[in-house]
Amino acid sequence: MGELGLKMQVKMGKEKERGRPEKLSVYLYIPNIVGYMRVVLNCVAFVLLCVSPTKHSSPSFISSAFVVMLWMAGALVYLTKPRLAITVIICTRKLELDSFLLLSSSVSTFGAVLDMVTDRVSTACLLVILSQVYRPSLVFLSLLALDIASHWLQMYSSHKDVKDSTSWLFRLYYGNRIFMCYCCVSCEVLYIILLLIANNQTENLLNVSSLPSLLLCLLSTQLLMKPVSRIMDTSALSRYGEPKVLSFETPLHRNTLFSAMSKPVAIEVYNPNGKYRVVSTKPMPGTRWINLLVDQGCRVEICHLKKTILSVEDIIDLIGNRCDGVIGQLTEDWGETLFSALSKAGGKAFSNMAVGYNNVDVEAANKYGIAVGNTPGVLTETTAELAASLSLAAARRIVEADGFMRAGLYEGWLPHLFVGNLLKGQTVGVIGAGRIGSAYARMMVEGFKMNLIYFDLYQSTRLEKFVTAYGQFLKANGEQPVTWKRASSMEEVLREADLISLHPVLDKTTYHLVNKERLAMMKKEAILVNCSRGPVIDEEALVNHLRENPMFRVGLDVFEEEPFMKPGLADMKNAIVVPHIASASKWTREGMATLAALNVVGRIKGYPIWSDPNRVDPFLNENASPPNASPSIVNSKALDQSFRKLSMEHIVSAYKRTKTRAILLDYDGTLMPQGDESNLVFIVSAKSREREQVQM
Ligand SMILES: NC(=O)C1=CN([C@@H]2O[C@H](COP(=O)(O)OP(=O)(O)OC[C@H]3O[C@@H](n4cnc5c(N)ncnc54)[C@H](O)[C@@H]3O)[C@@H](O)[C@H]2O)C=CC1
Ligand SMILES: O=C(O)C(=O)CO
């Protein structure tokens, strides 16, 4: 650990310069200094005593008794620990008390203390005997004091709180069990050798009638107990599916020296010495996002608080007094208070792990110059697929039928049993035909040959072209062609469609977009699906409508006051309700985490903003490094007006200067150079929603 300590010490010294809390750096220094003293003393002891071991007559009765007591205590703890761990695991699995599991493992404060105490008992036994059989005994007693002090201090600072993948030494130590084992037992082995040397000079080691020999045999057994108990422990934990708990890659961060003893702070830290501090308010799927942040020099802190929705106060605590960026969740209230706290902590970026950002006060972020990221594109198809699933489940009454079967009510096929709606040839209505709305429309048109009617503030020519082409294809094959219509009002969609799916953003214009009056306009047997945001529907009005119209069905992924449902909704057989899982596919969630992380680090490092948030594939390719850009920053214009001020003249002169190959016209008003000199592309403000590529 000595060299590791040095590395940590040097890095922490630098850290201090960057303004980390000094308290932590000091704590990290102490164990390392103590550690070095230990190494030096070990060497002195070894040389001194190998050269001229002065055999002490015989250990006094008191010290022998002390040694035996220590040994017994150590052995007892070792013998009971694996069993204790297994019992706790079984109980916690049954009772779902994960915190207990954490407590019993060696990454919790309690588990780590237990670990340390048993180790120290073992070392103490040897050192006390050595101090009796050798002179000067003071060396051994000092070694014992140092051993205890250094391990105790280390536990509350760097010990097991390290996953610095950039350091070859840490990788070797934490990634290689054999090397780690060697480091852990080498001191004890050294002491045993000393004991053997001393005993060999006078008596037969196997002479169990002599007290030192007997103790030596017993102690050797105890040294073996450590690896044996570890193996039992690890295999027991992996059998119960929690090998991660014992892994050194899942450290608990202890950010203050003593408060950690009573209340472990549930923060997982990666790359503790990273230059930029990025906090994630929740653990997010996959590890790529962590690796990408670490590669860019970030210290990543992941909050593991059991609470599902973090309060503003919780997040203020997480931000602390130095934080460069935060990755947050759509359940959190990112307003003036949090942006002000983040700004005070030196923060530059926040990203929602979501495409929707109605939980974020973008004006407040602008005020503090903080970038707000979101995660478009990666969840488009996944979300559309859930909307399609809810549409089918509602049309064919799948959930009702499933409950019927499970209740043992099925007595045989009947002509009227769970009759639902055929989708083919009917009209699908889409409100908000953006990325997800369009993807959903294509699925329903192509998959079920439905006609399309949509309402959006913008024309979706690409979607229209798709339906036209598909209609022509069907016609050419002798089938009834599908049709499309862009409605001039939302009411038109409500009146005409048989199945309506809501995909707008949530803002002032879409709040209670579907209310009592508009529900009344819909067909009595229509199906309504909502995978956008709960408040787009007046949920109370919906419950009444469902009650009065039993053949009207809904599929809801989102609710007005999540996680709650309005009274009565849960009792409605004509409602299918799922807990906001529309984007919940593994690939998508991992991709969302990646985009959110890259948004934050991109802003921190001053990278440009990606030209097209609808085409984020280059960021999601796991086999290549992502572009040095923030994939999607929603307030880019407000943060950097200069992008917008560039005129066509600038573009043309830039084209001539740099041999730009193409210009992309985009609706969102940002102007961003992308690519390298030889392949420069500008994104130019334009009124049209559709993108055109103009070859120059
Ligand atoms: N349930 C879930 O898990 C998920 C929900 N979402 C929600 O879906 C929303 C849409 O996501 P994307 O399609 O990626 O966004 P998008 O920006 O591509 O599409 C939103 C569309 O809504 C339209 N719109 C805005 N105001 C409107 C109005 N008053 N009337 C009609 N249309 C209006 C916009 O013009 C735009 O075309 C997100 O904002 C989010 O709230 C997104 C992903 C997953
Ligand atoms: O991305 C969003 O907006 C969600 O609702 C969760 O995927």
Cα first-last separation, the chain: 62
**Does position 91 have pLDDT exceeding 90, yes or no?**
no
Residue 146 and residue 38 in contact, taking contact as beta carbons nearer than 8 Å? yes
CA of 383 to the centre of ligand 2 (A): 8
With a cut of 60, say whether residue 242 has pLDDT above it: no
- Give the pLDDT confidence score for residue 675 in this predicted structure: 43
Compare 374 and 250 and report the one with higher pLDDT.
374
User: C-alpha distances in angstroms, 249 versus 162, 320, 372, 381?
Assistant: 8, 24, 30, 33
Residue 530 φ/ψ, nearest 5 degrees:
-130, 110
- Of the ranges 23-27, 345-349, 485-489, 589-593, which one carries the lowest mean pLDDT score? 23-27
Single-letter amino acid, residue 170: F
501: helix, coil or strand? Answer: strand
Residue 676 has pLDDT above 70, yes or no: no
Q: Which atom of ligand 2 is nearest to the CA of 354?
A: 1
Better-predicted residue by pLDDT, 26 or 515: 515
279, β-bridge pairs: 301, 326
Question: Atom 3 of ligand 2 has which residue's CA nearest to it?
Answer: 356
The predicted structure's pLDDT at residue 655: 52
By alpha-carbon position, which residue is closest to atom 11 of ligand 1?
436
What CA–CA distance (Å, rounded) separates 503 from 552?
20
| CA–centroid distance, residue 435 to ligand 1 (Å) | 7
**In the predicted model, is pLDDT for residue 301 greater than 80?**
yes
Q: How many helices (H) and strands (E) does the chain have?
A: 27, 17
The radius of gyration of the chain's CA atoms, rounded to the nearest angstrom, is: 33
Res. 673 pLDDT band, cuts 50 70 90: very low
Per-residue confidence (pLDDT) for residue 119, from 0 to 100: 72
Q: Work out which ligand 1 atom sits closest to the CA atom of 510.
A: 29
Q: b/e per residue, 369-407, with b = 16+ CB within 10 A?
A: ebbbbbbbbbbbbbbbbbbbbbbbbbbbbbbbeeeeeee
Could you tell me if 480 and 426 are in contact, meaning their C-beta atoms sit under 8 angstroms apart?
A: no
Q: Ligand 2 pocket test: pick from 355, 374, 586 the residue with the most ligand atoms within 8 Å of its Cβ.
A: 355
If you take atom 7 of ligand 2, which residue's CA is the nearest one?
583
Of the ranges 151-155, 481-485, 645-649, which one carries the lowest mean pLDDT score?
645-649
Nearest of 457, 437, 436 to residue 376 by alpha carbon: 436
Distance CA 148, CA 666 (A): 65
The model's pLDDT over 49-78, given as tens digits with 9 standing for 90+, comes to 666 555 444 444 555 566 666 666 666 665
State the distance from the centre of ligand 1 to the C-alpha of 551, rounded, in angstroms. 28
What is the model's pLDDT at position 257?
Answer: 25
What is the Cα–Cα distance from 178 to 180, expressed in whole angstroms?
Answer: 5
- 634, 373 Cβ separation under 8 angstroms: yes
Which atom of ligand 1 lies at the shortest distance from residue 582's CA? Answer: 3
Task: Tell me the CA–centroid distance for residue 637 and ligand 2, in Å.
Answer: 23
- Pick the residue with more confidence: 203 or 270? 270
Check if 330 has its Cβ closer than 6 Å to any atom of ligand 2.
Answer: yes
- pLDDT confidence bin for 672, thresholds 50/70/90: very low
Between 686 and 176, residue with greater pLDDT? 176
Three-state secondary structure string covering 242-299: CHHHHCCCCCCCCCCCCHHHHCCCCEEEECCCCCEEEEECCCCCCCHHHHHHHHCCEE
Question: 455 by DSSP, 3-state: which?
Answer: strand
Highest mean pLDDT among 190-204, 268-282, 485-499, 617-631: 485-499
Residue, of 266 and 277, whose pLDDT is higher: 277
Q: Let me know if 638 is exposed, middle or buried by CB neighbors in 10 A (0-12, 13-18, 19+).
A: middle
User: Tell me: the pLDDT tens digits for 563-600?
Assistant: 999 999 999 999 999 999 999 999 999 999 999 999 99
Ligand 1 pocket mutation pick from 372, 381, 436, 440 by most atoms within 8 angstroms of CB = 436
Give the ligand with the smallest distance to the CA of 354. Answer: 2
pLDDT at 158 > cutoff 50: no
Distance between CA atoms of residues 120 and 611, nearest Å = 58
Residues contacting residue 168 through CB under 8 Å, at least 6 positions apart: none
Cα distance between residue 33 and residue 149, in whole Å: 11
Identity (one letter) of the amino acid at 320?
G
Is the CB of residue 364 below 6 angstroms from any atom belonging to ligand 2?
Answer: no
Mean pLDDT across the stretch 126-141? 76
Closest ligand to the CA of 436:
1
Instruction: Please give the number of the atom of ligand 1 that sits closest to the Cα of 504.
Output: 22
Average pLDDT score over residue span 333-362? 97
In this predicted model, which residue has the larger pLDDT, 668 or 617?
Answer: 617
The b/e string for 2-39 (b: 16+ C-beta within 10 A; e otherwise) is bebbebbbebbeebbeeebeeebbebbbbbbebbbbbb
The length of the chain is: 696
In this structure, the residues whose C-beta lies within 6 A of any atom of ligand 1 are 355-356, 376, 379, 383, 431-437, 455-458, 503-506, 509-510, 531-533, 557-558, 580, 582-583
How much is the pTM? Answer: 0.64
| CB 56, CB 134: distance < 8 Å | yes
Which stretch of 2-11, 30-39, 554-563, 572-581 has the lowest confidence by average pLDDT? Answer: 2-11
Task: Report long-range pairs for 176-181 (Cβ below 8 Å, ≥24 apart).
Answer: 180/248, 181/227
Query: In the structure, what pLDDT confidence band is assigned to residue 90 with cuts at 50, 70 and 90?
Result: low
On the CB side of 20, how many CA atoms lie within 13 Å of its CA? Answer: 22
Q: Are 683 and 651 in contact (CB under 8 A)?
A: no
Q: Is the CB of 355 under 6 A from ligand 2?
A: yes
pLDDT at 170: 59
With a 6 Å cutoff on the Cβ, whether 596 touches ligand 2 is no
Cβ of residue 154 lying under 6 Å from some atom of ligand 2: no
Smallest CA-to-CA distance from 229 within 76, 390, 95 is with 76
The ligand that comes nearest to the alpha carbon of residue 504 is 1
260 contact partners, CB below 8 Å, separation of at least 6: 109, 156, 254
Tell me which residues are annotated as active site: 533, 562, 580
CA–CA gap between residue 490 and residue 442 (Å, rounded): 19
Q: Is the CB of 356 under 6 A from ligand 2?
A: yes
Q: Which residue has the higher pLDDT, 23 or 408?
A: 408
What letters, b where the CB count within 10 A reaches 16 and e where it falls short, cover 284-319? Answer: bbbebbbbbbbebebbbbbbbeeeeebeeeebbebb
**Consecutive H or E run containing 499:** strand 499-502
Residue 693 has pLDDT above 90, yes or no: no
Residue from 382, 383, 562 to probe ligand 2 pocket by mutation (most atoms less than 8 Å from CB): 383
Nearest ligand to the CA of 689 is 1
Q: Give the whole-angstrom CA distance, residue 203 versus residue 191.
A: 18
Of residues 100 and 588, the one with the higher pLDDT is 588
Ligand 1 binding pocket mutation candidate from 330, 352, 355 (most atoms within 8 A of CB):
355
Shortest CA distance to 161 belongs to which of 4, 280, 47? 4
Q: How confident is the model at residue 23 (pLDDT cuts 50, 70, 90)?
A: very low
Task: Name residue 230's amino acid.
Answer: R
Q: Whose CA is nearest to atom 35 of ligand 1?
A: 457
Instruction: Give the residue-averaged pLDDT of 383-394.
Output: 98
pLDDT of residue 256: 26
Weakest mean pLDDT among 87-101, 165-179, 375-389: 87-101
Instruction: Give the SS3 label for residue 395.
Output: helix
CA of 627 to the centre of ligand 1 (A): 26
Q: How far is the CA of 670 from the centre of ligand 1 (A)?
A: 20
For residue 144, what pLDDT band results from cuts at 50, 70 and 90?
confident
The lowest-confidence range among 207-221, 386-400, 536-550, 603-617 is 207-221
User: Which pLDDT value is given to residue 177?
Assistant: 62
Q: How far is the CA of 353 from the centre of ligand 2 (A)?
A: 8
- Ligand 2 atom index nearest CA of 583: 7
Average pLDDT taken over every residue of the chain: 76
**Contact of 429 with 444, CB cutoff 8 Å:** no
Burial of 180 (0-12, 13-18, 19+ CB in 10 A): middle
pLDDT band of 474, cuts 50, 70, 90: very high
Q: Is 44 helix (H, G, I), strand (E, B) or coil?
A: helix
Distance from CA of residue 55 to its chain's centroid?
A: 59
Would you call 527 helix, strand, or coil by DSSP? strand
What pLDDT does residue 142 have? 85
How far, rounded to the nearest angstrom, does the alpha carbon of residue 56 sit from its chain's CA centroid? 59
The C-alpha atoms of residue 579 and residue 556 are separated, in whole angstroms, by: 8
Lowest mean pLDDT among 28-37, 88-97, 405-414: 88-97
Whether pLDDT at 190 is above 90: no
- What's the rounded Cα separation, in Å, for the pair 575 and 542? 10
Distance of alpha carbon 686 from the chain centroid: 37
